Amino acid sequence: MLIDTHAHLDMKHFDKDRGEVLQRAARGGISHIITVGIDLDSSRKALGLAHENGAVYAAVGYHPHNAGGNISKNLHVLAGMTSDPKVVAWGEIGLDFFRGYSSREDQLGIFEPQLDMALELNLPVIIHDREAHGEVLKILKKIGKGERRGVVHCFSGDIDLAMALIELGYFISIPGTVTYKKALQTKEVATHIPLERLLIETDAPFLAPVPKRGKRNEPLFVTYTAGEIARLRNMDLEEVARATSNNAKALFGLE
């Protein structure tokens, strides 16, 4: 059994066949899926989907792309939602200096407050980090070390960054890009970080792995990511599945 620790099931890409996507995942051995909010509306949808399907859990938060405007009131609404047992993390939060959909000032203005809220609520965080490695690491160092801090999802840094984050108490989540031929840095990270700090994800509907590259991603396809990690680490797929699932259950408190 595998766990997809990061998907966006509320997105319009799944509107026509969301139920079938979930059925395929269940038949294919995906025991849990965490569907992740990117703003107030998507967080509400994520929680709704979690209530509709026993295998689905939700994370709530504001993505850096959605950092503009006065959203402090909405953060408090999200905080109220976390009392629901189906909410297992605060995210997706972080910094994205690649796309530039929101200014750096706006992104920084909501990243640290959300980290503080998650810490106060004793929730792990799901962190988005794209072309912002140094800034993210500096902020997380300021928050300090902890046993159940969270995960840097869709990890795109090098092995040194991964180990620095692990030292702070974070997990590293590997997406389908590890199956791409030219993704040598991601392959290195997936091969060498401690197994007890490794998670897997789809980031569905994005980043479909080989042999589904170019198509819509879905939770079932996390099996290809697990298979490639097993190959890289010279391990049985069952061993990778067991370890990454145990890691996810420990971090997110999954049943």
Dump strand ranges (E) for the chain.
2-7, 30-36, 56-60, 87-96, 125-130, 150-152, 170-174, 198-200
pLDDT at 68: 86
pLDDT at 49 over 90: yes
pLDDT at 70 over 90: no
**222-229 average pLDDT score:** 98
Q: What confidence tier does 100 reach under pLDDT thresholds 50, 70, 90?
A: confident
pLDDT at 16: 98
Q: What is the residue type of 254? A: L
Report field, pTM of the whole predicted structure over 0.95: yes
3-state secondary structure of 29: coil
**185-210 average pLDDT score:** 98
Q: Walk me through the domains of the chain, giving residue ranges and CATH numbers.
A: 2-252 (3.20.20.140)
Edge-to-edge strands, sheet with 125-130:
2-7, 30-36, 56-60, 87-96, 125-130, 150-152, 170-174, 198-200
